[in-house]
Every structure is written in C-alpha cells, then in structure tokens.
A and B are shown apart, each in its own frame.
Chain A
Amino acid sequence: MAKNMVIIGGGAGGASAGAAAKRGDQSLRVTMIEQSPYVSTAA
C-alpha cells in the first residue's frame, strides 16, 4: 500500500523535502501543510 508522507511547513525545507521524495517514489502520498497562503518561498 502507498505510504503517507506529511510535511508540516511549506517553506524552503518542507517544499524541497516534498519535491525530492515524490521524485524518488511516485507512489508516495504527500501532504504539505502550510499556515500562510504561500509555499516554497525563500527569504
């Protein structure tokens, strides 16, 4: 069964983790939680 990956925080660290995991394993079910309206931002 497909595994679940939950990411808390969609900033540089969280967004990179999600993208890299999905690249490695297409079957992963990835959910990214972000409190602001923006993800994958870099200051």
Chain B
Amino acid sequence: MIARTPEEFREAGLDVRINTRAAGADLRQRTVSLSDGTTLPYDFLVLATGSIPRLPDIPGIEREGVFTLKNYTDALRIKAYLQNRPCRKAAIVGAGFIAMEMAESFQSRGLETTVVYRGSLPARRWDREFGKLLLQELNRQSVTFLAEQEPVAIEEGVNNRLRLITNQEELDVDLVLFSLGVRPNVQLAADMGVKLGNSGAIKVNFSQATDSEGVYAAGDCSEVFHRICKRYTNMPLGDLANKQGRVVGRNIGGDAASFPGVVGAQSFKLFNLEVAATGIDEQEATSCGYHPVSTVIWGKAIPGMMPAAKQVGIKLVADSTTGKLLGAQALGEMGAVSRINVLSCALWGGMDLDDLSHLDLAYAPPFSSAWDVIHIAAQNLRKKL
C-alpha cells in the first residue's frame, strides 16, 4: 500500500529523492553524503533506515526465484515472477505471521504451498494449544507443514524451477520465500557513532531523539519502550513506525510530542482464523521479574443461540503478586482481534483481574454475551492468584 507518492510529497513542499542512498553522515559537520555525490547540511537528521530480512547462509540463496518479503519492491518482484513463469509450487521458510499470511496468499493463488519450520508448531508467539489449531487450519486448506526442518541448500530444479534441500528431505518448488524475521538496519547509525541500545537497534528517548544532538530515529531501526516489561526493545512493525515518525516530525516542527511506548499488540489472519496477541507470555514475564499465572478458556464469541456463533479461545497471563494483567492471546473464527484490542487497553491502563472481571463492555446478543469470555477468563484466573 502506498499512502503518498513522491509527487504528492513534492507538492507538499518536501524534496523527495528516490533511488538514492545515504553513503555516510558526519555528526560534527552536520552533513549527510549521498550516493549521487552530493552533500546535504542538516539541522535535524532523521534515521528511518528500517530493517533487513534475516537470511540463512546456505548455498543457492542468491538464485532467481528465492525471495524475502519486507517492502513494496519485494512484493512487486514476487508478483512479476509468478506472472512471468508457470509456477505450481511454493515453499515458505519460517512460520511467523508473515509466513502465515503468505501461505494463505500463495495457496489462494493456486500454488501448492509448503511451510518449512525449525520449530514444531506455527506462530511460536502463541501457545501450543493455539499453534495446533493453526496447524489444523493449514492442513484443512491443503498447505503442507514440515516441522523441525531447516533449509540446507537451494539447487537448480529438475521437475520444477528450484530444489529446496532441508536437513530431512528435498522439495521441488518454483519459488522459495524466506520469512525469518528482520534485524534493524543500523549500519549508518553505527558508522556515524550514534548510540545503539541493548536490543541492537538505535537508542531513543520518549521524544524519539537519539543520544546525538539533532539526530532522531523512528521505525524498525529504533527501539521502543515496552510498557509491560518496563524496558526498551526492538519491535519492527509498520504501525509503530508510523506513530514514532509522527512524534519525530512533531518535535522537529515545534509541536512537542512523546511516544508513550507499546504493549505489543499484534494480529494476523490465517484463512478462516483471526489470531491476535498482546503483552507478554509467561516466559517473558518471568524474565521481566514477574510471577506469572495463566489460564486458557474457550467460549462463544457471541451467544450460542445466535446462528453465526463461533468459538473463541482466550489466554490471559497475570502477575500473581499484584493480580495485574501481563498479556493475552486469542484465536477463533470471530471475535479474537476485538478482544485483544480490549485487553491491550487493559494492559495500557495497568488493570488487574478484578477490574477485568466486571469491566463494562458493550453487550447485545448479536455481538457478545452478558458475561463475555474476557470476564470469564479473568474470573477464572483470579482464582489462581
């Protein structure tokens, strides 16, 4: 999706230089040197250098038909490849949310799709109980899931264009997509001497300012404050980049703003399933110094008497010392994302299980039950405190 074209930015009075790279920058001179040989002076510098897809160091990774999907250019390249050649089979390496979205996308285009993953179940942020249902959904949609396998090499294909060799088998495919996450692109920042945080991304404060005067950072290359862990982390998501960028712009433009951090809300769709999560799981909670307890419950997203009623599963994690909510996960054919949004607000405001047990949620039979699954889960978990 393109929100604004270079022409639209130019009409708004911004000088946009596409197909141009920053070759280097000098903090003392306050200049940036560009790949076209020019040098620009700055009073304010914004590092929005994004992230770089992770790729394994295996033979054949550079072959035609091997892709990553990070930006618009990548999407166009994949689309062109599929349009210009007869493709029947696709392999996706990795099983995070982009891998899941692409499994649906490839399969829906008529490609026989195989997901290769080193773990045992898709989407490791979610509990095994939910992971099993994601696997079931993949199988139901005829996507093959190969667990505990890692790519070893990519060779020229015989029956198909490529042969993906894993530590256990050989797959004939026409396209391989690597979806193994990203790392912050901080080369320029590091070369300039801009300070990085513990996560490896650029260290920023609540104004999105770096430790170097006049230099700001936003998006995948920078850190964000995690409001539940109470520490800075790197969370490369486009919606956050957008918000951080706006805070940078307001501070430079004289309308001071601060970025209040994140609770880690996230969602994706896999065929008929809504999948969402927010906050942290038990393992992260323990590493952040909490004493987590959790519960998973299933209920109807809307009252069972409604013909459209579907099951939704909710997991809550809370701190046994304070009773405060620490995180949540949800999965179902309806109502998962809306509940995670409610629970993200609860996390943002620091609610405990008592607050959640009687939270005033909008009730009407077409939309919810009088006792929503959120209430029931909170009351259930409260008993474990």
Contacts and interface: CB of A to CB of B under 8 A. Distances in A.
Contacts of B40: 4, 6, 31
A28 B249 CA distance: 11
Consensus secondary structure, chain B interface: mixed
Nearest to A3: B43
Contacts of B45: 5-8
A6 to B, nearest CB: 4
Given A17-B252, A41-B2, A8 B47 contact: yes
Contact of A33 (B21, B44, B75, B245): B21
Q: How large is the interface on B (under 10, 10 to 19, 20 to 34, 35 or more residues)?
A: 35 or more
A39 B49 contact: no
Nearest to B69: A43
B44 A3 contact: yes
A11 B48 contact: yes
Contacts of A39: 2, 4-6, 9, 16, 18
A6 B42 contact: yes
A33 B253 contact: no
Contacts of A4: 40-44
Nearest to B17: A33
Interface string A30-41: 111111111111
Interface string B59-81: 00000000001111101000000
A13 B71 contact: no
Nearest to A37: B18
Contacts of A21: 44, 248-250, 252-253
Contacts of B106: none
A8 B32 CA distance: 9
A32 B9 contact: yes
A27 B177 CA distance: 45
Interface in B46-61: 46-50
A21 B250 CA distance: 5
Interface stretch (B88-96, B150-158, B214-222, B374-382): B214-222
Contacts, number: 205
B125 interface: no
- Greatest chain B CB density within 10 A among A8, A20, A28, A30 is at A8
Nearest to A9: B48
Contact of A36 (B73, B218, B220): B73
A11 to B, nearest CB: 5
Given A4-B42, A17-B218, A29-B15, A36 B72 contact: yes
Contacts of B47: 8-9
Given A6-B45, A8-B49, A18 B249 contact: yes
Contacts of A20: 245-250, 253, 255
A25 to B, nearest CB: 4
Contacts of A14: 46, 48, 218-219, 245
Contact of B50 (A3, A11, A28): A11
Contacts of B247: 20
Nearest to B244: A13
Nearest to B243: A16
A6 B44 contact: yes
Contacts of B216: 17
Given A32-B17, A38-B73, 5 more contacts: A11-B48, A11-B220, A12-B239, A13-B241, A15-B245
